[in-house]
Structure 1
Amino acid sequence: MDENAQKTLDRALEQLSEWKASFGEWEQDDSLSVSEKKEQEVFARLVQRLKCNFPFHHPVYAGQMLKPPHPLTWAAYAMAMSINPNNHALDGGPPSSEMEKEVLADLAHFFGYGEEFLGHLTASGTIANLEALWVARESHPDKKIAFSENSHYTHHRMCGVLRVEGIKVPLKDDGSFDLDATDPQEMGTIVVTLGTTGLGEVEPLDQILPWAKKHGIRIHIDAAYGGFFRTLKDSGIIDGTCWKLMEEADSIVVDPHKHGLQPYGCGCVLFKDPTVGKFYKHDSPYTYFTSEDLHLGEISLECSRAGAAAVALWATLQLFPLEEEEGFGPVLKKCLQAAQNMYELISTSEKLKAYKKPELDILGYFPAEAETTSEISEKSKAVFDAGMREQSFYLSLYKIPAGTFTQLHPEYNVDSDQVTILRSVFMKPEQKAFVKELLQRIEKAI
């Protein structure tokens, strides 16, 4: 945390302490006391253990989808956690529940939904997608749920949890869905991913939308990773076609703990039709009594949920509006430019080749000096290991079916079922200025 954020947090905690004291003097029970010596000893060991993490905060880390929360975001989270509100029922956290409703309205408006919608925050995108698919099942109980070959494994897994048949829609060479390979009469919902977690691919919502409407099929958008890139739909830096159509979907999932500057865990699910709330209807003999207003726990499969997550997201959206020229837009633009700059640099490299041009801020690439798919995998793993061993850079690996790989790179001989390539996720705006240095370090390792 930087010095200004630390001062802000200290002042805020002091003001909260004054509020706590306003209810009268009290002392912590002795059973909860810890000696200063033991406290220092435990936290000294804790610091050493936490130092064993990879440097997620630094631009040298371009591996998995791990984006540090903004210092002011986790300051807000820490403030709320000193109270520890629970956003299940209003009496568990009246202010944080109101903040959650406010951020949901902001997100619904951002994605193009009207004033009437239903939604809430969740512990993760996985849980958010589970709820969306659960509503899909309840809406069409005898129908299947479809998703592409590139969709997150969550969808197949959650279909198993829900005891719904999930079907994978094959993709054509251009990335479009092979809708002729499916029977629309069997489908109740189709999932469209705007920002796959593999390579950040934006699936063709513009292709699927008219087809789904023609056949009465619901559309669920999994924008867990890519959702906040909608801020750039009119910027020209990305193709805004699909992003502008998001309001046509029946449900949307986004993960603020990915590109929303939030700490784990903070997911969100939104439904365009608020009447799906009927599927959540339940009774609790002791929970919903402090207010006649809707309690968030009445429209959620989860019960207890951290009110601090809502507080942190509320503070973040006050500090960083969902706009192209202010707030999130400039941050996401630099992340995109980092991937694009790395792609351009690799195009002139003698040691690396890009797998394909990035659509968002994720780039796949591999060592150029190879003749076969197995050799590419071997060399990619060696580069990955070298970075970890020398702590000079941190990448991730990505597996691609060999047939898919050679559609773009037919010059390589196929001698394996899969090809493992290098993968970088440029989630930090600071990486725009760092990719040249990163490339030099990778080439040195090769």
Structure 2
Amino acid sequence: MKLERESIKLLTKALEKLESGFDLPEMSQSFDSEKMEEVILKTAERMRDNYPYFHPLFAGQMLKPPHPIAKAAYMMAMWINPNNHAMDGSKASSPMEKEVVADLAKMFGWKEHLGHLTGGGTMANLEALWVAGKIHPDKTIIASDQAHYTHERISEVLKLKFDKVETDHQGRISLKALEEKLRKGNVGTVVCTMGTTGLGSVDPLKEVLELQKEYKFRIHADAAYGGYFKLLENLDTETVEKFELLNTVDSIVIDPHKQGLQPYGCGCVLFQNPDVAKYYIHDSPYTYFTSDDLHLGEISLECSRAGASAVGLWATHQLMPPVKDGEFAKDLSKSRNAALKFYEKLAESAQFFPIVKPETDIVVWGTKGERTSEMSQAAQALFKRAEENQLYLSLYKYPTAKFSNVDFEIDSEYLVCLRSSLMKPEHKDWLEEIWARLGKSI
């Protein structure tokens, strides 16, 4: 198998175009080419000790290869190495960042917004909860027990009160448990996870919005993984409605380095109300002079940020805008279709059973057996055998208390399941091969 090289061809042409824009005196640069070649080949040798994250047979963790246009644009920008903290260090890439952030805000239905790119979803969620704490400094942040663990950790770092509530059997926040917390009062923000990292489940945003009318809390949507599913129509009707309501929340996080075809790290935080800028704005005696417009560093907790991330995302949006019925959305639809087809195969299987119907493109399933403890052992053994057959899966611990009307004995707190993130468009065409290798691993 050969690695993708089209981005290298694009990069060479892009660098020629880039250097022609600088009418500067020549400067001497001296490098030991032979030593560099020795080191880079040694580096490549070390990097061979990796799972093939880029290949469709890697169907476990949330790892999706960047698009060739994103890789080429990112690498090309590195020859300039812009810092998107201030216009002084990012004359071209800061405006590009503002454009792509506006694209993402528009995708969620916002014309007015405040936002910027971040180093990833953790930093983006930190900023969202930091603003939540500024607005309600003494009130509690609530998230489900299937929300990403960083929400609890971030709240601890920010010295904010945090509480979590249980989920239903599909991994979605329990409305009953949530309202019990709300009745006690002092809740400032509820986190709705729009695509959990475990099951890919989407919290019931419509019902949470109804509770908001009575209990007057803010809503932060953690759509780091699932945000781009807003563009799809091949979701269940209920799930489509949840994503359509994202324009009503207070803040949103989305990670272009997950479903958005970008290199790590590229997250994004968005606020519906631009007035939250007042919590950020600060002064620097040497930084903000190039432009009278708001610099990105004035609305970000991070200081230095890679302008290359904005350039890669901008190029990708130029090629494949994040719009419904566009090429990007059609590719993402393939991942969703792969998940549905895989779910059907599992439901008809004599050896496996799906835990829940996937809402996005994550599929979790168990091995059939008489007792959950034995089924867990079988899943773990299958996980190892699958890797021997070059099929790379992941494991997930499902609470057995959420099972009902099952034909096996529950003798353990968790059932260890197998899990696949079918997030590569190629997974649709590789599904039969994946199924065949899974069968060989039984």
Aligned to 1:309, the other structure's residue is in SS state helix
User: Which consecutive segments of 4 or more residues in structure 1 shift more than 6 A?
Assistant: 234-238
Q: 2:11 aligns with which of 6, 9, 15?
A: 9
Tell me the CA shift for residue 346 of structure 1: 1.5
Match of 1:136? 132
**Structure 2 partner of 1:432:** 428
Cα distance in structure 2, aligned partners of 1:173 and 1:392: 31
Asked whether 1:394 is paired with 2:396, we answer: no
> Cα offset for 1:8?
2.1
How far apart are 1:282 and its partner, in Å?
1.7
Q: Counterparts in 2 of 1:12-161, with a 5 A limit?
A: 12-20=14-22, 22-28=23-29, 30=30, 33-34=31-32, 36-114=33-111, 116-161=112-157
Distance across 1 between alignment mates of 2:229 and 2:222:
13
Which shows bigger deviation, 255-264 or 283-292? 283-292
Whichever residue aligns with residue 398 of structure 1, its letter is Y
Spell out, residue by residue over 1:255-278, the C-alpha distance to the aligned partner (whole angstroms, 9 max, x if none): 000000000000000000111111
How many residue pairs were aligned?
436
User: Matches of 1:187 and 1:252 in 2, distance apart?
Assistant: 19
Distance across 1 between alignment mates of 2:179 and 2:39: 61
The letter of the residue matching 2:366 is F
Quick one: distance in 2 between partners of 1:214 and 1:180? 10
Please give the per-residue CA displacement for 1:128-158, whole angstroms capped at 9, x wherever unaligned.
0000000000001111011111111011111
2:223 match: 223
CA distance in structure 1 between the partners assigned to 2:332 and 2:383 by the alignment: 26
CA distance in 2, matches of 1:171, 1:55: 33
* One-letter identity of the residue aligned with 2:92: P
SS where residue 88 of structure 1 aligns? coil
Deviations 1:63-104 (A, max 9, x none): 100000001111000010111000001011111000001111
Matches of 1:167 and 1:313, distance apart in 2 = 35
- Contact 2:141/2:190 (8 A) holds in 1: yes
What is the CA distance between 1:126 and its match in structure 2? 0.3
Q: Secondary structure at the match of 1:258?
A: coil
The answer to whether the Cα contact below 8 Å between 1:117 and 1:271 also exists between their aligned partners in 2 is yes
CA positional deviation for 1:39: 1.6
How much does 1:324 deviate?
2.4
RMSD of aligned alpha carbons:
1.6
> 1:31-430 residue pairs with structure 2 within 5 A?
33-34=31-32, 36-114=33-111, 116-173=112-169, 175=172, 176-178=174-176, 179-184=178-183, 185-233=185-233, 239-368=239-368, 370-388=369-387, 390-404=388-402, 406-407=403-404, 410-430=406-426
1-side partners of 2:146 and 2:211: how far apart?
20
CA contact (8 A) 1:62 1:424 kept: yes
- Asked if the contact 2:179/2:211 (under 8 Å) is kept, the reply is no
Question: 220-229 or 182-191, which moves further after superposition?
Answer: 182-191
Amino acid at match of 1:62: A
- Partners of 1:107 and 1:14 lie apart in 2 by 31
Q: CA deviation at 1:173?
A: 4.8
1: CA distance, partners of 2:393 / 2:334: 19
Structure 1 residues 7, 180: closer, same or farther in 2, change over 3 A? closer
CA distance in structure 2 between the aligned counterparts of 1:135 and 1:383, rounded to whole angstroms: 45
Contact 1:238–1:359 (CA under 8 A) maintained in structure 2: no
Residue 3 of structure 1, CA deviation: 5.2
Deviation string 1:343-362 (CA, Å, 9 cap, x unpaired) is 11112222221111111100
Counterpart of 1:183 in structure 2: which amino acid? Answer: L
What amino acid does structure 2 have at the position aligned with 1:52? D
Letter paired with 1:441: R
Which letter maps to 1:24?
A: P
Alpha-carbon displacement from aligned partner over 1:235-287 (angstroms, at most 9, x marks no partner): 76873110110000000000000000000000000000111111112221111
3-state SS in 2 of match to 1:399: strand
Q: Is the 8 A contact 1:100 1:120 kept in 2?
A: yes
Aligned counterparts of 2:411 and 2:109: Cα–Cα separation in 1: 48
Contact in 2 for aligned 1:169/1:177 (Cα 8 Å): no
SS in 2 for 1:19: coil
* SS class of match (1:336): helix
